[in-house]
Amino acid sequence: MEFLTGTNVNFIGKRKIAITGSLIVILIGIASLIIHGGPRYGIDFSGGTLLALHFSKPVPADQIRNALKDVQLEGESYDFSRAEIKRFGASTDVAVRVEEMGTGTKVGDAIKASLKAKFANYIPPKESDWVLKQEKVGPKIGRELKGKAVKAIFLALLIMLIYISIRFEFKFAVGALVALFHDVFITIGIFSLLNKEFSLAIIAALLTIVGYSLNDTIVVYDRIRENLRLMHRAGYGQAINSSINQTLSRTIITSLTTLLVIFTLYFLGGKVIRDFTFAMMIGVFVGTYSSIFIASPILVEWEARSAHRRR
């Protein structure tokens, strides 16, 4: 069986439309980031306490909120009713997130004690089944993790820039880099639009997207490098366009198989990795798109401008 072989779509000719489309999506993402006042950070980066609890019967969020109005912490009463309360997968599971306060894990433990007293009938018989997850990140750690994440992303991009410059040419590296920024920006933008949280796992997903998208781009570039030697008479744009067409079948099949796995993970892999796989899903789509419509057309634009200057 074969499909998409021997195609001759004029991808390069449509580069203006593609680039405009991408710019619009990126701008929407940036607008969303501005409206939301930056990315929505999870406790990994903003610090705070997160509790995921499993009740034996569904407990309405406002009842939990009420219970949080008066939490005893070291002999004093605190009002945590402004906490973020949301469902954690199943309807019986609840996640409570409060902002960073004080040191140690006392806030989480105090909230647990308070909820335990008020919802005794809702707590599973085996108490270890009650607490699904308890996380606390101090503000200092949060800042450090943020710094590390940013460092990791830039380090990854820098090393790739160097590697591609060595293996190919500098303009290829620039093209690949623009495509990567494109992918990362669109993914961040979509996350902001959907009001999803940024956690450490999402950063890992972003870096994987970077790796995957680059993988795709390099396969196309490799063919371009080869074709530029074989087809130097046909012209730059023509050589690049046929390269994209020749690798199209492979690009689509690889994306399909990868998406096949990511979709199964998304639907069957459980709530813990759902956001992670969601980011990967966007990334594979956008990464495939960008290696065809962004990374390669940039080479054409670059060549056209420098040819113009040479003249």
Partner 1 sequence: MRRGQGVKIGIIIAVLLLSIWYLYPTLRLAIMSTAAKGKMDPRELAKLEKRAVKLGLDLKGGMHLVLEVDKTKLSAKEAPGAVDRALEIIRNRVDQFGVSEPLIQRAGKDRMIIELPGLQDPERAKELIGRTALLEFKLVENGKEAKGLFDRMDKALSGGEKEKKGEETKLKEMFKESPAGSLEAETSTSEEEHPLSYLMEFMDQSYGQVIVAEEDIPRVDSLLSRPEVKALVPPDMELEWSSAFDNYREERVKKLYLLKRKPELTGAHLTDAKVTIGRGLDPEIANRPVVNMRLDRRGARIFSRVTGANIGRLLAIILDGKVYSAPRIKSKIPDGRAIITGIGRMTEAKDLAIVLKAGALPAPVNTIEERTVGPSLGEDSIHQGTNAAIIGMILVVLFMVFYYKGAGLIADLALVLNIIFIMAALAGLRAALTLPGIAGIILTIGMAVDANVLIFERIREELRSGKTVRVAIDAGYSRAFRTILDANLTTFFTALILYLVGTGPIKGFGITLMLGIISSMFTAIVVTRVIFDSLTTGREVARLSI
Which residues from 251-290 bind partner 1, rule CB under 8 A? 253-254, 256-258, 260-262, 264-265, 267-270, 272-273, 276-277, 280
74 or 308: CB nearest partner 1? 74
26 or 156: CB nearest partner 1? 156
**Least distance between partner 1 and beta carbon 27 (Å):** 27
Question: What letter would DSSP give residue 194?
Answer: T
Which residue in 128, 195, 233, 310 binds partner 1 (CB under 8 A)?
Answer: 128
**Using rule CB under 8 A, residue 10 touches partner 1:** no
**Using rule CB under 8 A, residue 155 touches partner 1:** yes
Q: Within positions 159 to 188, which residues make up the interface with partner 1, using CB under 8 A?
A: 159-160, 163-164, 167
52 or 244: CB nearest partner 1? 52
Q: Within positions 12 to 51, which residues make up the interface with partner 1, using CB under 8 A?
A: none
The answer to whether 2 and 290 have CB atoms below 8 angstroms apart is no
**Least distance between partner 1 and beta carbon 14 (Å):** 24
**Using rule CB under 8 A, residue 133 touches partner 1:** yes
**Least distance between partner 1 and beta carbon 230 (Å):** 12
CA-wise closest residue to 292 among 191, 181, 179: 179
Say how many residues touch partner 1, by CB under 8 A: 76
Say how far apart CA 300 and CA 305 lie, in whole Å: 9
Instruction: Report the 10 Å Cβ neighbour count for 83.
Output: 20
**Least distance between partner 1 and beta carbon 163 (Å):** 6
33 or 50: CB nearest partner 1? 50
**Least distance between partner 1 and beta carbon 285 (Å):** 14
Residues 6+ apart with CB under 8 A from 75: none
Q: Which residues lie across from 36 on neighbouring strands?
A: none
Calculate the dihedral angle through the C-alpha atoms of 82, 84, 87, 88, rounding to the nearest 10 degrees: -140
Say how far apart CA 89 and CA 93 lie, in whole Å: 6
Beta-strand (E) ranges in the chain? 48-54, 71-73, 76-78, 84-88, 90-98, 131-137
**Least distance between partner 1 and beta carbon 216 (Å):** 8
CA-wise closest residue to 144 among 88, 68, 200, 71: 200
Q: Within positions 189 to 218, which residues make up the interface with partner 1, using CB under 8 A?
A: 200-201, 203-204, 207-208, 210-212, 214-216, 218
Instruction: Match 């830039």 to its residue by tokens.
Output: 154
Q: Within positions 216 to 235, which residues make up the interface with partner 1, using CB under 8 A?
A: 216, 218-219, 222-223, 226
Grouping H, G, I as helix, E, B as strand and the rest as coil, residue 115 is helix
The answer to whether 132 and 53 have CB atoms below 8 angstroms apart is yes
**Using rule CB under 8 A, residue 5 touches partner 1:** yes
9 or 253: CB nearest partner 1? 253
Residues 6+ apart with CB under 8 A from 307: none
Tell me the one-letter amino acid at 99.
E
Query: Mask of contacts with partner 1, 69-108, x by CB under 8 A?
Result: ------xx--------------------------xxx--x
